C-alpha cells in the first residue's frame, strides 16, 4: 500500500468494522424480537401484536441496510500509469472520459498519476520498483515481456487481453527537410554518403527498436540476405552521429533545433507535428513495419495497491470505440474494427506490412539484435572503430 492510500484504507477498515458490529447488534435484537413475539401470541391483543410486527419490520430493514452499505461505500482510487513519451496527448483526452464514466457508474473518484518517457527506460523503472505502475502502455511488447520476466506481470498477459494486448498502432515515416535536398525517398537512401539521420537509442527507446527492425526487414524480407542487411544497417548508423534517449528528444532536435537531414518517427507523430505548425515533407515507405503498442496491468502492483478492478476497467476502456476515436484523432491507426473502418481512408496504404513475428518474435529479436554483444552492439562498435 502506498503512503497516499493509507488514510483511505484505514478509514475503510474502520467503517467496515463499525458496520459489522451494527449488523451483529441488530441481528441480536431481531432474534430477541422473534422470541418475544412467540410469547406474546398467547393471549395478547391484536394492537400489541401489530406494534411488535412493525418493530420487527424496522429491524429487518435496518439489518439489510447495514449489510449492503459496505459495497456502496468506496474510497477514492489512484492509478499509476507509466507510458512511452508520445502517448501523452492521447491519454490527456481519454483519461477524463474514463474518470467521468467510472464516477457515474460506481460513484467513485479515480485519479491518475502519469509518467512518460522512453519505453525501454520506463520499463526499467517499473522493474526496479522506482515507479510502481498499475498500468503500463509501452511502445513494444518486448518491454512488457521484460516486466513479466521480472515477476511483476503474469505470464500470458497478451493472451488474456483483447487484440493480443495491442491497444494502438502506427507505422514508420521518413521525414526530410523542405524540398528534400538530399533526395531521401526510400529506406535505401538512408545509407547514402552525406546523409545525417536523427534517431533514438534502441537501448532506451521503443521507436528506436521499431526503426532498427524496419531497416533490417526492408532488406531481409525483400530478397536480401543477412550479410546484405548487416552491411546496409551499419551504413545507416554510421550516418547517425547522435542517438537520443527517446522519440520526443529526437523530434525536438530535428524540428526545434534544426539538426539532421532526416528523421524516422511514428507516422502519427509526424502528422500531428504538421497539424501543430511543424509541417515538413515526409514519406511512408511502401515496405513498412506494424508498430504495435501494448497495454497491460502490472499484477504485482495492482494487488499490492488494491486497484485491480479499476485498472482493468481502464484498459478495457482503451479498446472502446470512444477511446479508439481519440487515438485516431491523434493519427494512431486504431485497433477497434469500427473505428478502423471509419478512418481507413485517412492513411496511405502499405504494400508490404510486416510484423515482429516475421522477424522471429520478440524473444529471438531481443537475443539476436539488442542483447549485450548482439548485432546492434556490433554495428556501433564497427562505426566507432
Sheet containing 197-200, strands listed edge to edge, beginning at the edge strand earlier in sequence: 243-244, 197-200, 262-266, 172-176, 282-283
DSSP assignment of 239-287 equals: T---EESSHHHHHIIIIIS---SEEEEEHHHHHHHHHTT----EE--SE
List, for residues 77-121, the tens digit of each pLDDT value.
999 999 998 899 999 999 999 999 999 999 999 999 999 998 889
DSSP secondary structure code for residue 189 in this structure: G
Class of domain 77-168+293-342: alpha beta
- Is pTM beyond 0.85 here? no
3-state secondary structure of 236: helix
Highest mean pLDDT among 5-9, 61-65, 267-271, 354-358: 354-358
What cell numbers appear for 193 in the block?
A: 554518403
pLDDT in tens, 277-315: 777 899 999 999 999 999 999 999 999 999 999 999 999
Helix (H, G, I), strand (E, B) or coil at 124: helix
Pick the CATH number of 172-289+355-384 from 3.40.50.720, 3.40.920.10, 2.70.98.10, 3.40.190.10: 3.40.190.10
- Going by the DSSP 8-state scheme, the letter that residue 87 receives in this structure is G
DSSP string covering 8-61: HHHHHHHHHHHHHHHHHHHHHHHHHHHHHHHHHTTT--HHHHHHHHHHHHHHHH
Amino acid at each position: 500500500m502506498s503512503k497516499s492510500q493509507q488514510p483511505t484504507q484505514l478509514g475503510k477498515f474502520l467503517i467496515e468494522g463499525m458496520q459489522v458490529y451494527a449488523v451483529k447488534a441488530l441481528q441480536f435484537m431481531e432474534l430477541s424480537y422473534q422470541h418475544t413475539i412467540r410469547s406474546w401470541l398467547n393471549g395478547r391483543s391484536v394492537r400489541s401484536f401489530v406494534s411488535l410486527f412493525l418493530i420487527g419490520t424496522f429491524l429487518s430493514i435496518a439489518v439489510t441496510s447495514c449489510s449492503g452499505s459496505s459495497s456502496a461505500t468506496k474510497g477514492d482510487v489512484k492509478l499509476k500509469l507509466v507510458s512511452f513519451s508520445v502517448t501523452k496527448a492521447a491519454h490527456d483526452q481519454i483519461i477524463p472520459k474514463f474518470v467521468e464514466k467510472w464516477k457515474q457508474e460506481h460513484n467513485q473518484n479515480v485519479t491518475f498519476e502519469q509518467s512518460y518517457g522512453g519505453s525501454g527506460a520506463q520499463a526499467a523503472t517499473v522493474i526496479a520498483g522506482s515507479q510502481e505502475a498499475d498500468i503500463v502502455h509501452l511502445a513494444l511488447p518486448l518491454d512488457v515481456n521484460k516486466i513479466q520476466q521480472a515477476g511483476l506481470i503474469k505470464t500470458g498477459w497478451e493472451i488474456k487481453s483483447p487484440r493480443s494486448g495491442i491497444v494502438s498502432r502506427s507505422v514508420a515515416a521518413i521525414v526530410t527537410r523542405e524540398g528534400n535536398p538530399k533526395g531521401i525517398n526510400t529506406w535505401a537512401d538512408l545509407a547514402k554518403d552525406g546523409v545525417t539521420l536523427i534517431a533514438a537509442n534502441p537501448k532506451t527507446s521503443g521507436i528506436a527498436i521499431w526503426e532498427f527492425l524496419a531497416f533490417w526487414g526492408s532488406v531481409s524480407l525483400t530478397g536480401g540476405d543477412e550479410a546484405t542487411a548487416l552491411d546496409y544497417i551499419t551504413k545507416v548508423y554510421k550516418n547517425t552521429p547522435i542517438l537520443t534517449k527517446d522519440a520526443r528528444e529526437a523530434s525536438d532536435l530535428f524540428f526545434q533545433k534544426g539538426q539532421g537531414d532526416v528523421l524516422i518517427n511514428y507516422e502519427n507523430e509526424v502528422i500531428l507535428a504538421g497539424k501543430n505548425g511543424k509541417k515538413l515533407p515526409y514519406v511512408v515507405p511502401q515496405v513498412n513495419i506494424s508498430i504495435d503498442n501494448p497495454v497491460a496491468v502490472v499484477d504485482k502492483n495492482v494487488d499490492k495497491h488494491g486497484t485491480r478492478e479499476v485498472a482493468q476497467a481502464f484498459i478495457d476502456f482503451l479498446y472502446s470505440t470512444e477511446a479508439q476515436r481519440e487515438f485516431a484523432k491523434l493519427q494512431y491507426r486504431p485497433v477497434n474494427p469500427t473505428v478502423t473502418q471509419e478512418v481507413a481512408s485517412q492513411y496511405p496504404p502499405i504494400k508490404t506490412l510486416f510484423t515482429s513475428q516475421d522477424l522471429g518474435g520478440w524473444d529471438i529479436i531481443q537475443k539476436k539484435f539488442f542483447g549485450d554483444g548482439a548485432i546492434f552492439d556490433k554495428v556501433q562498435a564497427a562505426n566507432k572503430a
